[in-house]
Amino acid sequence: MDQRSPGSQAIPGHSFHSRGPCGGRRSRPDPTEPARAGPRQGQRGGACTTTLDCRAPARRPAGRYEIPLLIQDRNLDTTPNGDLTGRLLHKVEDNTMEFFGPFTMVNGTIWPHLPVESRQYRLRVLNGSNARTYRLVLLDGNGRSVTGAIRQIGTDGGLLARPVSIPPAGLVLAPAERADLLVDFRPFRGERLRLVNTAGSPFDGSPSNQAPGTPDPTNRLPYPDVMEFRVSGQRVNDTFVVPERLASFRRLPPPDVERLVALVEEVDGMLTLHELEPVSVSEEHLTQPTIAVTGESGLTTRYRTVAAHFRDTTNWFVAHGSTEVWRILNLTEDTHPFHVHLVQFQATSRDTYNVDGFDASTGGTTTLVTFVGHGTLDANETGWKDTVRVNPGELVSIALTFDSYTGRYMYHCHLLEHEDHDMMRPFVVMPASVLAAMGDMAM
């Protein structure tokens, strides 16, 4: 069958195979070009490159049992009579910024199959889509979820401290998120397993109201299939036991600085990152709109926006070697994958807020944004990350230590169309002595 058309294609075991230091690595196109063009042109590369602890048993899944999976949604052009041509087509709906392709491509093939032995495999999964979030569920031949056969051992930045089960509803991966998985095919000799997506688009964190594997065209999921695993009927002697402790992990120290940024969709559809500073007593007379937030303690703080667009003045200057906590407040109706260049961070909390009082037409609040309750981080979000999902009405906190390089870097939403529509801001890391000399010039 023509591999440019949807159908049954095996995935070569060597596809996108790579090794390197701990953590996932992804190549990027020319930074002067729109980011959304890269994945469409095949420029998304490098899945996860985490290495299991060398003290693990020698028979750990490796070689042809260790397979990167690059998942992307795509659309294909058609002939005048409606036949698919196999040519990639970038088309968005009217009044929709994001690209949501109807077909799912894995390692360059739409709806592929992978023959596997009845043993454990290591799958390194990267969501390389422009804007589609996946919630992946593994189904047996009867359509029952067998997602319990999957354990996650690593995230964006390397191994977790210990293996964890993926969430019961499925493994959620927003664009740029990576997952290092161990899948045990031993109980499924001779069966065919389907990996399906249950997340509608645009994603807002809501659970699916459809049975896994059911088409949901209303939520831009006409074809939920991702790929198929065809398990051999031959018994295999697989004695590998995943270690209960995979890597050392320590929480970062208390922060030297805390910062707050709000995710905002303006009335014209532009997506922006509002860097917020508390309004001081001397600024109470200011007439610009402010955002009033009441936290868990009941204390209300008014914030003013000091920057919202990429071209605005750089405000965030970071001392090299310092630890900071960034709090990300989502005032929009969609989930945004918040991505930071340069460092791996630790997500520390996920809280929910009532954000109905925010008025996008003014950029301020008419009533208080108020704390509702503590959410929970999934077990697979507790490792090193460089991308974290922030659902509507959530405030997610991340801890970052800037101990590698100095220079100018970026943070942004990793929905590529959002990134291209101004949801990106710079920050500068500099020696602590230089930052001290800048005094009040630096914030």
User: Residue 130's closest CA among 169, 175, 94, 64?
Assistant: 175
- pLDDT mean across residues, the chain: 88
Q: For position 49, what pLDDT does the model report? A: 43
List all residues 6 or more positions away from 75 whose beta carbon is below 8 Å from its beta carbon.
88, 89, 90, 91, 99, 101, 102, 103
The lowest-confidence range among 60-69, 75-84, 147-156 is 75-84
The structural domains of the chain, ordered by start, are: 37-235 (2.60.40.420), 257-441 (2.60.40.420)
Q: Give the model confidence (pLDDT) of 83-118 as tens digits.
A: 888 888 888 887 788 999 999 999 999 999 999 999
Q: Give the model confidence (pLDDT) of 400-409 as tens digits.
A: 999 999 999 9
**Spatial distance between the Cα atoms of 234 and 236, rounded to a whole number of angstroms:** 6
pLDDT of 391 higher than 50:
yes
Q: For position 275, what pLDDT does the model report? A: 98
Q: Are the beta carbons of 67 and 61 closer than 8 angstroms? A: no
SS3 category, 419: helix
Q: Is the model more confident about 280 or about 253?
A: 253
**Spatial distance between the Cα atoms of 119 and 185, rounded to a whole number of angstroms:** 5
Mean pLDDT (whole number) for 328-350: 97
* Residue 280 pLDDT level (bands cut at 50, 70, 90): confident
List all residues 6 or more positions away from 338 whose beta carbon is below 8 Å from its beta carbon.
263, 328, 387, 388, 389, 390, 396, 398, 411, 413, 414
pLDDT of 441 higher than 60:
yes
3-class secondary structure for 101-158? Answer: CCEEEECCEECCEEEEEECEEEEEEEECCCCCCEEEEEECCCCCECHHHEEEEEECCE
Q: For position 27, what pLDDT does the model report? A: 45
* Residue 33 pLDDT level (bands cut at 50, 70, 90): very low
**DSSP codes of every residue in 275-324:** EEEEPPGGGTT--S-EEEEE-TTS-EEEEEEEE-STTSPP--EEETT-EE
Q: For position 60, what pLDDT does the model report? A: 80
pLDDT of 21 higher than 60:
no
pLDDT of 327 higher than 60:
yes
Kindly give the pairing relationship between strand 424-430 and strand 317-319.
parallel
pLDDT of 290 higher than 50:
yes
Give the angle 374-377-380 at the CA atoms, nearest 5°.
170
- Measured distance between the N- and C-terminal CA atoms of the chain, rounded to whole angstroms: 59
* Residue 34 pLDDT level (bands cut at 50, 70, 90): low
The dihedrals phi and psi of 169, each to the nearest 5 degrees, come to: -80, -10
Q: For position 263, what pLDDT does the model report? A: 98
Q: For position 90, what pLDDT does the model report? A: 85
User: Residue 200's closest CA among 110, 125, 135?
Assistant: 135
pLDDT of 137 higher than 60:
yes
**Percent of all residues in the chain with a pLDDT value above 70, rounded to a whole number:** 85
What are the C-alpha distances in Å from 303 to residues 283, 291, 390, 405? Answer: 11, 5, 20, 31
**Spatial distance between the Cα atoms of 168 and 138, rounded to a whole number of angstroms:** 11
* Residue 82 pLDDT level (bands cut at 50, 70, 90): confident
**Percent of all residues in the chain with a pLDDT value above 90, rounded to a whole number:** 76
Mean pLDDT (whole number) for 377-385: 95
Q: For position 89, what pLDDT does the model report? A: 86
Q: Give the model confidence (pLDDT) of 293-315 as tens digits.
A: 999 999 999 999 999 999 999 99
Q: For position 414, what pLDDT does the model report? A: 97
The dihedrals phi and psi of 12, each to the nearest 5 degrees, come to: -60, 140
**Spatial distance between the Cα atoms of 291 and 277, rounded to a whole number of angstroms:** 10
Q: Are the beta carbons of 99 and 20 closer than 8 angstroms? A: no
pLDDT of 352 higher than 70:
yes
Q: Is 253 exposed, middle or buried (0-12, 13-18, 19+ CB in 10 A)?
A: exposed
Q: For position 22, what pLDDT does the model report? A: 43
Q: Are the beta carbons of 99 and 417 closer than 8 angstroms? A: yes
* Residue 17 pLDDT level (bands cut at 50, 70, 90): very low
Question: What single DSSP character describes residue 7?
Answer: S
Q: Are the beta carbons of 85 and 79 closer than 8 angstroms? A: yes
pLDDT of 28 higher than 70:
no
> Please, which residues bridge with residue 358 across strands?
365
Q: For position 123, what pLDDT does the model report? A: 98
Question: What single DSSP character describes residue 148?
Answer: G
Across the chain, how many H-helices and E-strands are there?
3, 30
> Does the CA dihedral 335-107-192-147 come out positive or negative?
negative
Q: For position 29, what pLDDT does the model report? A: 41
Helices (H), 126-228: none
* Residue 180 pLDDT level (bands cut at 50, 70, 90): very high
**DSSP codes of every residue in 224-263:** -EEEEEEEEEEE--------S--S---PPPPPSEEEEEEE
Which two structure tokens, joined as six digits, stand for 294? 């009441």
Q: Give the model confidence (pLDDT) of 45-70 as tens digits.
A: 444 444 454 344 446 899 999 999 99
> Does the CA dihedral 350-354-356-359 come out positive or negative?
negative
**Spatial distance between the Cα atoms of 333 and 391, rounded to a whole number of angstroms:** 8
Q: For position 39, what pLDDT does the model report? A: 55
CB atoms within 10 A of CB 360: 14
**Spatial distance between the Cα atoms of 395 and 145, rounded to a whole number of angstroms:** 31
